[in-house]
Chains A and B, each alone.
Chain A
């Protein structure tokens, strides 16, 4: 059933659907309760539903139209023209005009020359920029139209109704070009840790929460469902400066080769990760792979130290699980790795397990050198995973976009009424 622009048909269809199918078909209404750790995460995840960009990035397909219907370049990529979709309405019901898009973009990039005509926005750049459409998919370039001092209107399926440090409320945008969302509202409670969010999901306090990949099975076993982005956050081992010398290069190489990345991604992280060959995930870049992911046991060669310590945040179950698997893998290869919880009085470790969120840019020169010398050893890219309670249903499209942004326009709630 397609989302309707008006509520009334939805009510009818809901009434009909209720009489025939119990909860199997989506219906309108209800308040989705979401929890987030902090305002930054809420901003990154939720605002794309409020303020849309000209384009969106799809893995394997690159930049795709969103607010822009089409886009083309000239002058080798230093001039771009974005034709806007017609009839895109702002949250106050007015129609989005090209000049408003131009104004929004100028507020972000002052070096660009941005012009607008009746239907399009033209951007002249100082240099050729062949990947401008992909760049414009970033939330930084989201289109917002200011009305008054505090109100900023968007074009997304949800409008910001209320926002403070503890909670946000998004209401459905009835005039969205793709139709009104099934949900009436989304209430986002801010300030809950990942562990608290999982507890909230299990207690019925929340409908959608962030989860660790290692908890995905637990959610599904309890009747919930799991949404995930594409793997984008990097888990890697970074050797400390005093162990980044050439003297133990052989040890680092043997260490890197011993890690079974496939098992970590497929089994340990329950297929919510992918083996990492570089900083940027494969679906985002063409960076050549450096690390080995096959199960190869390096021979016991002279010069390879047989004992290492890795420091890990003891409060992060994801990193702890990965560290323990790394220790198991390297033990089979003859290198004893001790996992050391990070406390103030711990002796200096040889390396630490680091979590690098959402690496999208290519490595710098220094990072490349670290990768080549196995000072920085990528292990897996981890997806951002969310657990949803059994009352949450999906209709069409992913609930979480590849880059982790929420896409709750197609979510609906079972046993709810408008």
Chain B
């Protein structure tokens, strides 16, 4: 992943995580604060509504008392007190209605001393029948009552008063707890009220009325049923589509303690949901803005920092690939990056100089090494030649027969010495004039087996003093490859020779072949003492050897052969861990 991409991800991630964390903390804090405030508000509102109930009851009581004390009731009492044959019951039918309208009462019944309805505002046609709830020891204070009406049964707040001086007339009046009552309640924004009237044994949604703007499908039935059963106030959180809502439910009991209704007050969590949504969206917006700023910053940084750094990185790679002519002149940068680019160029130039000097030094060293080797190789065969010539010179003074003997020996020695010289020169000549490979389809496993067979005798010689075990681990699936079988065999020979020479006290040599896709792999392992890092680096340098004898060309030749086969050879070694030479050659030569 590029530096720019990492930078972008880092900046964007930091911004997103930070904003997300802040958003979450703020939202959680806001929710807790709101819920606590909601609870307090709901409780306070319910206390106020209880007060409203009391006030409504007092209003009803005062209105009924005014009716009871009115002249109209006195007149009704007079009319009702007449003898039956002189009474016109029809004359009283509309009286209660007029009084109820005048005193803003929904329920008003004028009841005679024997409990018979003389006039009824809410049910005028019910004259003559017994009044059910005004006679049985009605309390002085207002109470709740289910009042039967022609079209419904209404939960009402009622009170009963005696009309003094009327021969026992009672006035039963009240107001319905209905939509109008709910509307009369002053509820703060976001608060709702519901009134449930227990008209049926089972809790039914149709008996629930709601204040304006209160949701109808408020899922309150389970709470209502619990309150009806327990008769106790209950505070509960209700899950609603737009968020949870805290609902306070109080039972409305009649005078005998039966729960005639349930009053509920709830606070809408829409504000909280809206606030949380705002916080969330603000967070998302800020995060998006932060990411955008990150992108912009990344772009700016890219143009100022990462691009030059990438260019420097590209230049480094080019240099690693061998292009030493790369410079950073085309890079636009400033500050430390510009200094870095300058330093890079300087370093590159130094490296190039050093490489050149190194190459030259290596070349010089190689020449020196070559010269040393050559001198060493040549010195050995030349020294006996010199001695032979000196012997011949000295033998001039000897008798002819002895001089002939000396001459014959000397000529033989000169022949052998010249032959050795020839051999040495031939080897050097061979190395300098390596023939190109002649490619043919060969089985590398066969080459390895044939080569290993050549070394069986040598390995067996070491059995008595320093036994060596030669193990062949050949992949039966190794394919035939296009290669020069003879040169490949010489490479394996060199590696086996080196492995034997590396184990003066015996050990194991393991030769393995493997097929690896388009490549053929060969490895030769010896369990010798291993090589140092320095030795590993110089191992393939011509004329470099760690042996007392040897030209130091074996591995250089092996490297040259492998290179001609478009493969590669390398070594893995470590002190005390043995040494493994690896060769990779393409199966198909181009």
What is A's interface to B at a CB cutoff of 8 Å? 214, 217-218, 263, 266-268, 270-271, 321-328, 331-332, 338-341
Contact = CB atoms under 8 A, between A and B. Distances in A.
B124 to A, nearest CB: 7
Interface of B: 89-91, 93-94, 123-129, 148, 150-152
13 contacts: A266-B90, A267-B89, A267-B90, A268-B93, A268-B125, A268-B127, A271-B90, A327-B150, A328-B123, A328-B150, A331-B148, A332-B129, A338-B150
Contacts of B126: 324-325, 328
Nearest to B91: A217
A324 B128 CA distance: 13
Contacts of B152: 338
B320 to A, nearest CB: 88
Given A327-B125, A328-B129, A338 B151 contact: yes
B151 A268 contact: no
Contacts of B94: 214, 217-218
Given A217-B94, A266-B90, A340 B125 contact: no
Contacts, number: 49
Given A321-B124, A328-B125, A332-B129, A339 B150 contact: yes
Contacts of A263: 127-128
Contacts of A321: 124-125
Contact of A267 (B123, B127, B150, B151): B127
Given A267-B89, A267-B93, A328-B123, A340 B128 contact: no
Contacts of B150: 323-324, 327-328, 338-339
B36 to A, nearest CB: 44
A328 B91 CA distance: 19
A381 to B, nearest CB: 17
Nearest to A324: B125
A266 B89 CA distance: 9
Contact of A339 (B90, B128, B151): B151
Contacts of B89: 267
Nearest to A221: B91
B271 to A, nearest CB: 35
Nearest to B126: A328
Nearest to B98: A218
A271 B93 CA distance: 13
Contacts of A267: 89-90, 93, 127-128
B99 to A, nearest CB: 15
Q: Of residues B89, B125, B129, B148, which shows the largest number of chain A Cβ atoms within 10 Å of its Cβ?
A: B125
Contacts of B151: 338-341
Nearest to A309: B151
Given A263-B128, A332-B129, A340-B151, A324 B123 contact: yes
Q: Of residues A218, A325, A332, A340, which shows the largest number of chain B Cβ atoms within 10 Å of its Cβ?
A: A325
A244 to B, nearest CB: 23
Contacts of B93: 214, 267-268
A323 B128 CA distance: 16
B121 to A, nearest CB: 12
Contacts of A331: 148
A204 to B, nearest CB: 22
A267 B126 CA distance: 11
Q: Of residues B90, B127, B150, which shows the largest number of chain A Cβ atoms within 10 Å of its Cβ?
A: B150
B437 to A, nearest CB: 103
B176 to A, nearest CB: 17
Contacts of B124: 268, 321, 324
A218 B127 CA distance: 18
Contacts of A218: 94
Contacts of A340: 151
A337 B472 CA distance: 111
Q: Of residues A268, A324, A332, A339, which shows the largest number of chain B Cβ atoms within 10 Å of its Cβ?
A: A324
Contacts of A338: 150-152
A340 B150 CA distance: 8
A164 to B, nearest CB: 38
A321 B94 CA distance: 11
A354 to B, nearest CB: 18
B90 A217 contact: yes
Contacts of A341: 151
Contacts of A270: 90
A332 B123 CA distance: 14
Leading 6 A-B pairs by shortest Cβ distance: A325-B125, A324-B125, A339-B150, A328-B126, A267-B90, A324-B150
A290 B6 CA distance: 102
Contacts of B125: 268, 321-322, 324-328
A270 B128 CA distance: 15
Given A268-B125, A324-B125, 16 more contacts: A214-B94, A217-B94, A218-B94, A266-B90, A267-B89, A268-B124, A271-B90, A322-B125, A323-B150, A325-B125, A327-B125, A328-B129, A328-B150, A332-B129, A340-B151, A341-B151
A214 B97 CA distance: 13
Contacts of A268: 90, 93, 124-125, 127
A324 B126 CA distance: 8
A46 B152 CA distance: 43
Contacts of A332: 129
Nearest to A271: B90
A317 to B, nearest CB: 10
Q: Of residues B93, B127, B129, B148, which shows the largest number of chain A Cβ atoms within 10 Å of its Cβ?
A: B93
B92 to A, nearest CB: 9
A268 B92 CA distance: 10
Nearest to A336: B148
B130 to A, nearest CB: 9
Contacts of A328: 123, 125-126, 129, 150
A294 B189 CA distance: 58
Nearest to A338: B151
A323 B89 CA distance: 19
A214 to B, nearest CB: 8
A268 B128 CA distance: 11
B89 to A, nearest CB: 5
Contacts of A323: 150
B72 to A, nearest CB: 13
B154 to A, nearest CB: 13
Nearest to A320: B150
Contacts of A324: 123-126, 150
A324 B120 CA distance: 12
Nearest to A268: B125
A340 B128 CA distance: 23
A266 B87 CA distance: 12
A322 B89 CA distance: 16
A306 to B, nearest CB: 14
Nearest to B130: A332
A340 B149 CA distance: 11
